[in-house]
Amino acid sequence: MAMMFEPDLFKVLMPPAPPATTQAFWVAVPVTITAPGIPAQEPAIIKMDPILKRAWIEALRFGGYEQCRGALRMGPRTFCAIGLLQHIVANMASAVQLIGKDYTNTAIRMNDSGMSFLEIASWAERTL
């Protein structure tokens, strides 16, 4: 009997490469992912470029931006954490292309649940 897979499962296991305009912002890192009933796969996982990571962390900590919740941007210097990341790269890439879907969703939840830019910067420094 053939196994049926949900299309979204493959998006998580094998994310598409970002467009050529954003290749400077990501690095493919092979990892092994296993799940019950699914053979081990070695997909490309998005890892944040260290220069972009440093720029985002410094903007979160020292950029003088105001933080908003529930929207990417609410004014010329008012952003959520993910909105600020996209602002840094001049909207040439989405956050999902830059740090992956799971990390983007985590950063959104952290921002919208009340964590400060300083707390999000510390998380990004440790995690990405």
Residue 26's H or E segment, with its range, is strand 26-30
pLDDT of residue 44: 41
pLDDT of the residue at 90 = 87
Give phi and psi for 20, each to the nearest 5. -55, -30
Question: CB within 8 A of 112, min separation 6: which ones?
Answer: 69, 70, 80
What is the predicted pLDDT for the residue at 42?
A: 39
**Amino acid 46: pLDDT:** 58
Tell me the two tokens of residue 62: 């020292």
Return d(Cα 8, Cα 14) in angstroms, integer.
10
User: Which segments in the chain show pLDDT lower than 50?
Assistant: 1-45
Residue type, 1: M
pLDDT tens by residue, 24-51: 444 434 344 444 444 444 344 457 889 9
- From the DSSP assignment, how many helices (H) and strands (E) are in the chain? 6, 7
Query: 10 Å Cβ neighbour count for 11?
Result: 11
CA dihedral 102, 108, 110, 112 (to 10 degrees): -150
Ramachandran quadrant class, 13 (left: phi over 0; alpha: psi -120 to 50; beta: rest): alpha
Is the pTM higher than 0.75? The answer reads no
Yes or no: say if 72 and 86 are a contact pair by the CB < 8 Å rule.
yes
